[in-house]
C-alpha cells in the first residue's frame, strides 16, 4: 500500500480515470479487524483516508462494519470529502425581466469534494409565487465540474405567457428521470422540496 499501489495506478494509466467514471473502494477485512488484528491506529487510518482522497474516491464499501469510536471523527470528515460536494458561492441576476425576455445570470460554485458528479443531473431555476410556477432548465454540464472553483454564466428565457408579478427565484439540481431536486448542496437554505431561494425577481 505504501509503494506498489500508487506506482501501479500510474503504470496502468489510471491516474485520470476518475474524471470519467467513479472510483469505489472496498475495505480489506473490517474496521474492527484493522484495530484488533492489524493493530492500526489513528495515523494508519488517516493515511488510508488521505490516499483514497488522492485517488478521487466517490464511494466506499465498509461491509456494514462498525467504526471504532475513536475513529468516528476521521470517518465523518472523510464522508464529507469523498465524491462531489457542491456549494453555491455567488449568484447574480437582474432584478427585473420582461415576458419572453432573457434572464441572464452569473454563478460561482465550488466543488469541495474530490470528484465530479457522474450522473445526468441538471441545474434548474424555478420562478414561483402564489399563482404560478415556471421551471427553467440550464445547459450546465455538471460532469465537467471537477474539484475546485467553477464559474458558470448562462441565460434562460421567460415564457411569453408568464403572468407579470413578483416571483421567488430558486435553484435546484434535478434528475431528469425523477421529479424535484435530487442533490443537496453543502449550504443552508434548502426548503422542504429541495429548492434553494436566491431572491426575488419581477416579471413585467
Closest CA to 172 of 151, 152, 195, 150: 195
The per-residue pLDDT for 177 is 84
Q: What is residue 196's predicted lDDT score, i.e. its pLDDT?
A: 98
Mean pLDDT by 10 residues, the chain (204 residues): 89 94 95 96 96 96 95 96 97 96 97 96 96 95 97 96 96 89 95 97 97
Res 195: pLDDT: 97
Residues in the chain: 204
The tally of CA atoms less than 13 A away on the side-chain side of residue 175 is 10
Q: Give the Cα separation of 115 and 45 in Å (integer).
A: 21
Angle at 19 between CA 144 and CA 75, to 5 degrees: 105
Q: What is the pLDDT of residue 30?
A: 96
Burial class (CB in 10 A: 0-12, 13-18, 19+), 161: exposed
> Three-state SS string across the chain, please?
CCCHHHHHHHHCCCCCHHHCCCEEEECCCCHHHHHHCCCCCHHHHHHHHHHHHHCCEEEEECCCCCCCHHHHHHHHHHHHHCCCCEEEEEEECCCEECCCCEEEEEEEEEECCCCCCCCCCEEEEEEECCCCEEEEECCCCHHHCCCEEEEEEEEEECCCCCCCEEEEEEEEEECCCCCCECCCCCCCCECCCCCEEEEEEEEC
Q: In angstroms, rounded to a whole number, what is the distance separating the alpha carbons of residues 110 and 87?
A: 5
Amino acid at each position: 500500500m505504501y509503494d506498489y499501489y500508487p506506482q501501479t495506478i500510474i503504470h496502468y494509466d489510471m491516474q485520470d480515470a476518475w474524471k470519467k467514471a467513479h472510483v469505489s473502494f472496498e475495505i480489506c477485512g473490517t474496521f474492527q479487524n484493522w484495530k484488533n488484528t492489524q493493530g492500526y491506529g489513528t495515523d494508519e487510518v488517516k493515511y488510508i483516508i488521505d490516499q483514497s482522497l488522492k485517488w478521487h474516491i466517490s464511494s466506499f464499501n465498509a461491509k456494514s462494519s462498525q467504526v471504532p469510536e475513536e475513529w468516528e471523527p476521521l470517518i465523518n470528515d472523510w464522508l464529507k470529502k469523498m465524491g462531489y460536494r457542491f456549494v453555491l458561492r455567488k449568484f447574480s441576476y437582474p432584478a427585473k425581466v420582461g415576458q419572453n425576455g432573457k434572464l441572464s445570470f452569473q454563478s460561482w460554485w465550488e466543488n469541495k469534494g474530490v470528484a465530479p458528479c457522474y450522473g445526468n443531473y441538471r441545474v434548474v431555476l424555478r420562478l414561483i409565487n402564489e399563482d404560478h410556477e415556471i421551471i427553467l432548465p440550464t445547459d450546465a454540464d455538471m460532469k465537467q465540474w471537477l474539484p475546485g472553483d467553477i464559474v458558470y454564466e448562462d441565460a434562460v428565457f421567460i415564457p411569453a405567457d408568464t403572468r407579470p408579478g413578483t416571483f421567488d427565484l430558486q435553484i435546484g439540481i434535478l434528475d431528469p428521470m425523477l421529479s424535484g431536486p435530487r442533490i443537496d448542496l453543502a449550504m443552508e437554505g434548502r426548503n422542504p422540496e429541495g429548492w434553494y431561494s436566491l431572491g426575488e425577481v419581477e416579471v413585467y
